[in-house]
Structure 1
Amino acid sequence: ELPKIRMPRHLRETYIRRVGDAVNIMIPFQGKPQPEVTWTKGGQPLDTNRINIRNTARDTIFYIRQAQRGDSGKYELTVHINGAEDKATLDIQVVEPPGPPQNLKLVDVWGFNVALEWTPPVDNGNSEIKGYRVQKSDKKSGKWFTVLERCTRTSCTISDLIIGNTYSFRVFSENICGLSDSAAIASGVAYIEKTKTTYQPEKIPQRDMMEPPKFTQPLTDRTTTRGYSTHLFCSVRGFPQPKIIWLKNQMEIREDPKYIALIDQGVCSLEIRKPGPFDGGVYTCKAVNPLGEASVDCRLDVKGEI
């Protein structure tokens, strides 16, 4: 009987484990007389100090007591019988939580808003970064609150801050294992003060002030949980003040109690109240004035309750 490896379905894709977890894999095969079994990694024999292999007449067991990231890679399994052979590849990825983001900066404070920027972590934990969790803390309470659950960009605008409060900000990285063990903390703080405006007649012709709409902060893709209200934010400028139109999947959102649209000092917000599965889709914010129009899009995904 010719040798044949029966690779389990779940091992045909990358096998992912966390650092410190055990790796215990059994791969059955067939063939008579009993096949000779060989394991290699990158064409080289395995490190028997880390990896234990046990073979029977019908299967081979691959075991690592405590996986480390260095155990990641492609392992080659070969079974031989009298010159005939069958081969299979086992791809292992050992992951851990990422490091914190780098270079978190408070780049602007205006009105009730703050703009933050940062760079990706030096160590991604051997797994793709899924997003970032952004939190704020006001000096009065000292408590941290999440304002963005999974931001996919390395910048964001935080709105609806309270006049008279001083805020600190921090950002966690997130990969398949979860959040980074520590956060990046912005070195500066933001004090939200009441702006005093004094009217002064412009000395330049009014036409020089005219400006078509332009978005200074785009919408960002969001993921929310069914039944929990969420907000979309963007910033726009233009003169005369643009008219703001919200659309969902290219259809204008008109008077609907599910949605509350506001604009304050150029910051546009759309509250989606208690979203359900059908509230997911592509949302568009369009700004229009006599000189032109501009728009930004984002995708909202609504997940089931956790």
Structure 2
Amino acid sequence: MPSKPAPIKKAAKKEPAKKEEKAAEPAPEPAPEAAPAEAAPAEAAPAEVAPPVEGEAAPAPAEGEAAPAEAPPADAAAPAAEETPAAVAAEAPADAAAAAPAAVEAAPAADSEAAPADAAAAAPAADEAAPAADSEAAPADAEAAAPEEPKPPTPPPPPPKEPTSAPLDLFIEDKNDTSVTIIWSQPEVVGDSGLDGYTIEICKDGTEDWKAVNEELQKSCRYVIKNQTTGDRLKIRVVAVNAGGRSPPVALPEAVLVKEVADRPKVRLPRFLRQRYVANVGAKINLTIPFTGKPKPAVSWLKNGQPLDTKRVNIRSSDRDSILFIRAADREDSGEYEMCVKVDDFEDKAIVTLQIVELPGPPASVKIVDTWGFNVALEWTAPSDNGNTEITGYTVQKADKKTGDWYTELEHYHRLNATISDLIMGNTYKFRVYAENKCGISEDATVTKEEAKILKTGIDYKPLEYLEHDFSEAPKFTTSLNDRSTTVGYSTKLLCSVRGSPKPRVQWMKNQMIIGEDPKFRQICVQGICSLEIRRPGNFDGGVYSCKAINNHGEATVSCKLEVKQPVVADAEKK
């Protein structure tokens, strides 16, 4: 077959190298018992290279068969094997070329295997010759020995996942006596593996004993390291973690001292408290004043430079603000309240001015200074109690002695004297004055002790004598009721007017039935004008309505008809 010549040529090329190696090395001593078996392939080689009959394959010794003759020494077998190919090539006819490869292959095998002393090593050499001869003779066996089809190449393994780059911008956000708050930014390079979270590690300054402070991966870029010892110096670092493992850490440049950061105190006084805070007597005072400072500032309060009366004023302070609370304010609570916040040697102060006010008292005195013609001049003094705030004005009133009714002449008047004019001749008047402040007008007024009488000048008037007219009259309707029509759901009103003396009593009726206090109807009678309002009339509210007026001298009645219609519906709406 054409596939065998390539190994034969390789064996022929390698033969000289093997001969040189054997010539340079001393031949090992053959084993006493295994030597004949080893030499058997070498002696059998001349017999196998005899010219075969045309169309027949050269016979090969059976596997494991012993050589018929005793084997010569290993040194003698080698030359015989070397001469065998040349002799075979000279004597073999042209048509026996197919059998030559088997013989040539057997000779090198015997030559190379004769050197070792182990007899078992020579057996494979003899076995190789037989398959070679069989493969040349049997085409079916050659087809079975054909190489198999190549398998598809195995895909390369996926590249290993890489961790992220180091987190960025790690710095301290806040700290106190037991905790440190840190923040950072996510890594610049995250990769295809994503980002599972962060591990925060700490160790004391001067050591490298790093320990993770979070049991689970931290998702956000902010973390509070709690339960630390005050005064410790900590080194802090953050590591990003994903499927590729841990990233390079980002660490703070210096160790952090676990201690509250000192911050100067500052009172943040609200804008409405920067001016005077005014409240009425009895009002509840609740003022919240925020402040800043670290550690927690010490808060103290003073009123007019003296300690507060805790029975009247309550102070509640937190880390961020202080509350001044008065359950029911009194005028004694007015004053300047000083708030002081202090951290170490630093402090800040703020003053809140509180003013509790109430209605003022009346003017101290009011007197009539002069009376002339139709005019009266008055003077008064400011009230002794101004209600803890300034007086904003006065109110002056007059009263005729006959009627006793008081009428206001001046309002929000700022001066302490006034002239009242346009008085009626012959009448006698009294005057009173009220004081006014931010809370309102005083509850009481100061009245003049003397009276002012407007005298008649040069007229002697005698009233006429006349009999008093009798105005008694039976009820009489001056305006009667008119027929009305309305639509269902739309309120309507019936009107009429009546006169009579004494004042008549009015009754409304529907279909001769007294309506009474039915909430559907609203009855009003003022100055002789009588009205009946029918609220959202229905289909059954139509009929004859009557109004009857009755007094001691008689009675009168008027009637009208009310028609209630259905609303008009468009054709499109009906459909």
Structures share a fold, TM > 0.5? Answer: yes
Instruction: Write the distance in 1 (CA, Å) between the matches of 2:409 and 2:285.
Output: 37
Q: CA deviation at 1:55?
A: 0.6
Instruction: State the Cα deviation string for residues 140-178 of structure 1 (Å, max 9, x = none).
Output: 332211111022111100001111222111000111111
Provide the residue aligned with 1:95 in structure 2.
357
Provide the residue aligned with 1:173 in structure 2.
435
Q: CA deviation at 1:42?
A: 2.4
1:135 aligned partner, one-letter code: Q
Q: 1:121 aligns with which of 373, 378, 383?
A: 383
1:144 aligned partner, one-letter code: W
Instruction: State the Cα deviation string for residues 215-235 of structure 1 (Å, max 9, x = none).
Output: xxxxxxxxxxxxxxxxxxxxx
Tell me, what secondary structure is at the counterpart of 2:294?
Answer: coil
1:30 aligned partner, one-letter code: T
Instruction: Write the distance in 2 (CA, Å) between the matches of 1:44 and 1:156.
Output: 46
Provide the residue aligned with 2:269 in structure 1.
7
1:139 aligned partner, one-letter code: K
Instruction: Write the distance in 1 (CA, Å) between the matches of 2:323 and 2:405.
Output: 50
In the alignment, does 2:427 pair up with 1:159?
Answer: no
Q: CA deviation at 1:118?
A: 1.0
Instruction: Write the distance in 1 (CA, Å) between the matches of 2:331 and 2:457.
Output: 52
Provide the residue aligned with 1:16 in structure 2.
278
| Percentage identity across paired residues of the two chains | 57
Instruction: Write the distance in 2 (CA, Å) between the matches of 1:29 and 1:125.
Output: 34
In the alignment, does 2:324 pair up with 1:31?
Answer: no
Alignment of 1:175-194 (within 5 A): 175-194=437-456
Tell me, what secondary structure is at the counterpart of 1:29?
Answer: strand
Q: Which has the higher contact order (CA 8 A, sep 6+)?
A: 1
Tell me, what secondary structure is at the counterpart of 1:67?
Answer: coil
Instruction: Write the distance in 2 (CA, Å) between the matches of 1:6 and 1:142.
Output: 58
Tell me, what secondary structure is at the counterpart of 2:332?
Answer: helix
In the alignment, does 2:311 pair up with 1:49?
Answer: yes
2:348 aligned partner, one-letter code: D
Instruction: Write the distance in 1 (CA, Å) between the matches of 2:345 and 2:458.
Output: 87
Alignment of 1:1-306 (within 5 A): 1-196=263-458
Instruction: Write the distance in 2 (CA, Å) between the matches of 1:26 and 1:174.
Output: 32
Tell me, what secondary structure is at the counterpart of 2:272?
Answer: helix
2:358 aligned partner, one-letter code: E
1:33 aligned partner, one-letter code: P
Instruction: Write the distance in 2 (CA, Å) between the matches of 1:72 and 1:133.
Output: 28
Instruction: State the Cα deviation string for residues 205-258 of structure 1 (Å, max 9, x = none).
Output: xxxxxxxxxxxxxxxxxxxxxxxxxxxxxxxxxxxxxxxxxxxxxxxxxxxxxx
Instruction: Write the distance in 1 (CA, Å) between the matches of 2:406 and 2:317.
Output: 53
Q: Alignment length, in residue pairs?
A: 197
Tell me, what secondary structure is at the counterpart of 1:3?
Answer: strand
Q: CA deviation at 1:139?
A: 2.0
1:93 aligned partner, one-letter code: Q
Instruction: Write the distance in 2 (CA, Å) between the matches of 1:195 and 1:6.
Output: 73
Q: CA deviation at 1:116?
A: 0.6
Instruction: Write the distance in 1 (CA, Å) between the matches of 2:272 and 2:403.
Output: 48
Instruction: State the Cα deviation string for residues 159-207 of structure 1 (Å, max 9, x = none).
Output: 011112221110001111111110000011112122239xxxxxxxxxx
Q: Which has the higher helix share?
A: 2
Instruction: Write the distance in 2 (CA, Å) between the matches of 1:56 and 1:31.
Output: 12
1:171 aligned partner, one-letter code: V
Instruction: Write the distance in 1 (CA, Å) between the matches of 2:423 and 2:348.
Output: 64
Q: Please give the TM-score of this superposition, normalised by the length of structure 2.
A: 0.34
Instruction: Write the distance in 2 (CA, Å) between the matches of 1:95 and 1:15.
Output: 10
1:81 aligned partner, one-letter code: V
Instruction: State the Cα deviation string for residues 107-158 of structure 1 (Å, max 9, x = none).
Output: 1111111111111111111111111110011123322111110221111000
Instruction: State the Cα deviation string for residues 9-62 of structure 1 (Å, max 9, x = none).
Output: 010001011111111100111111111110011222100000000111111100
Instruction: Write the distance in 2 (CA, Å) between the matches of 1:29 and 1:187.
Output: 59
Tell me, what secondary structure is at the counterpart of 1:31?
Answer: strand
Q: Which has the higher strand share?
A: 1
Tell me, what secondary structure is at the counterpart of 2:365?
Answer: strand
Tell me, what secondary structure is at the counterpart of 2:369?
Answer: strand
Alpha-carbon RMSD: 1.2
Q: CA deviation at 1:92?
A: 0.6
